Structure 1
Amino acid sequence: MNELTKQVAVTADGGQYFSAKHICDAIGLTWSGQRAKINTDSELSASRTDIYMTAAEDKKYEMIMLPIEKLSGWLFMITPNKCKPAVRPALSKYHEEAFAVLDAWFRKGYRNVDSLMRD
């Protein structure tokens, strides 16, 4: 498990969640803009869970957590040029692959292949 995964993965109420803020911090993206995007997006805002963490100094922090199933879509919404230069190539490659997968799923009909729907 890498350091980023340790920072953002949480299991609660039988679900797995990630902290978008921690990912934003790691990739150099401003949290305020992403928080606004999450709060105004109907899918993301409806699925968010707020978890309260207590830091060493007994200060409580609210963390906006999203279901791990939303991670791929949320990452797809991020503009690579708004991230750290070191992250841009990987995020651009992710976008290329996501476009190909979405095309295969919706246009080429892979969504109708039963074996792909199994966990």
Structure 2
Amino acid sequence: MQTAQQLMPVPFYGDTVVLVGKGNEPLVAMKPIVVNMGLDWKSQHAKVMEKYSSTMVEITIVAEDGKMREMTCLPLRKLPAWLYSISPNKVKPELRDKIIRYQEECDDALWDYWSKRSDAHHTGSPNITQQIALSRHRIALLKELQRTLNRVIRATIQEEITQLSAKLGLSLPDVDNIGIAAPPDSDILADFWAALRHLDSKGVQYNHAIKTTLLAFRLEELAKHFKANDTNIKLDAAMIRALKNCSSPRYLNHNHAVHSAIKRNTVKCWVFEALPEIES
């Protein structure tokens, strides 16, 4: 999956079509055009994949609202071929004029926009419309950065904010201190499993599983054990997410009824494959 750096909404007779800048080649996001023309995206997506697979590009991009989105794109030079593959005589009568307009004018409008954008890029002077669009996109990215904890997504957003700030001649915000980047799940889980081994060394009973191949615990009990044994582990949302994605030991269930080896009754537990032993 490739990551594009620029998303350019382009007005077209009251609609918005989307150019995606990928290096020096303009791409066209296909779904907005298909939807604007009143066509079925599912069938047209299959058609694009079948007939244009050699040039089609699937791109993950930071969209104008700051969120990560996947887009199916064609090079702009290939757009006319797809447009003229749509027969106006085979669609609903109310769609014919619009489809003909797209066929006759859309690619030229996009080429015109791309050319002007390229000239502005080389001169370093975006026009007022472009400045407004870039400024709105920058603000949306800053808001998304405030909400986002994933480090990879934050790095992508930060890179684009840096580029937009330079393009607009604005100072770069202190992006490292906007929101808090979460540590990787691997770091969170390493601390968690180390804390369980610490409880083991203290003889604390927390595993409700009777089967030796399973590990079953209750988070509320672990919180008390961690506190009693001076272990600073936060059982917060990041930890919950990391536990559910854990593959070693493998996560099985977080609300499973287990006949407790500790209490001798049935309790609801988080269940994993048994925690592996550390070789000495």
Scaled to the shorter chain, the TM-score interval is: 0.5 to 0.7
Question: In the alignment, is the contact (CA less than 8 A) between 2:10 and 2:19 conserved in 1?
Answer: no
Query: Which residue of structure 2 lines up, in the alignment, with residue 111 of structure 1?
Result: none
Query: Which residue of structure 1 lines up, in the alignment, with residue 91 of structure 2?
Result: 82
SS at match of 2:17: helix
1:66 aligned to which of 39, 60, 74: 74
Question: How far is the alpha carbon of 1:39 from its aligned partner?
Answer: 0.9
Query: Which residue of structure 1 lines up, in the alignment, with residue 219 of structure 2?
Result: none
Question: How far is the alpha carbon of 1:69 from its aligned partner?
Answer: 0.6
Query: Which residue of structure 2 lines up, in the alignment, with residue 19 of structure 1?
Result: 29
Alignment RMSD: 2.9
Query: How far apart in 2 are the matches of 1:84 and 1:28?
Result: 11
SS at match of 1:17: strand
Q: Which amino acid aligns with 2:22?
A: A
Where does the alignment leave 5 or more consecutive residues of structure 2 unmatched? 1-8, 105-280
Label 1:84 to 1:6 Cα distance change in 2 as closer, same or farther (>3 A): same
Residue-pair matches, total: 92
Q: Deviations over 1:83-104 (max 9, x none)?
A: 671x412534777x8xxxxxxx
Label 1:70 to 1:57 Cα distance change in 2 as closer, same or farther (>3 A): closer
Query: How far apart in 1 are the matches of 2:35 and 2:16?
Result: 14
Q: Which amino acid aligns with 1:26?
A: N
Query: Which residue of structure 1 lines up, in the alignment, with residue 62 of structure 2?
Result: 54
Q: Which amino acid aligns with 1:53?
A: I
Query: Which residue of structure 1 lines up, in the alignment, with residue 20 of structure 2?
Result: 10
- Structure 1 outlier segments of 4+, above 2 Å: 4-7, 53-58, 79-84, 89-95
What percent identity do the matched residue pairs reach? 28
Q: Deviations over 1:30-87 (max 9, x none)?
A: 110110001111xx111011111235474x32101100011110001113243671x4
Question: In the alignment, is the contact (CA less than 8 A) between 1:28 and 1:83 conserved in 2?
Answer: no
Where does the alignment leave 5 or more consecutive residues of structure 1 unmatched? 98-119
**Which is greater in Rg?**
2
Query: Which residue of structure 2 lines up, in the alignment, with residue 115 of structure 1?
Result: none
2:44 aligned to which of 19, 23, 34: 34
Label 1:94 to 1:25 Cα distance change in 2 as closer, same or farther (>3 A): closer
> TM (normalized to structure 1)?
0.62
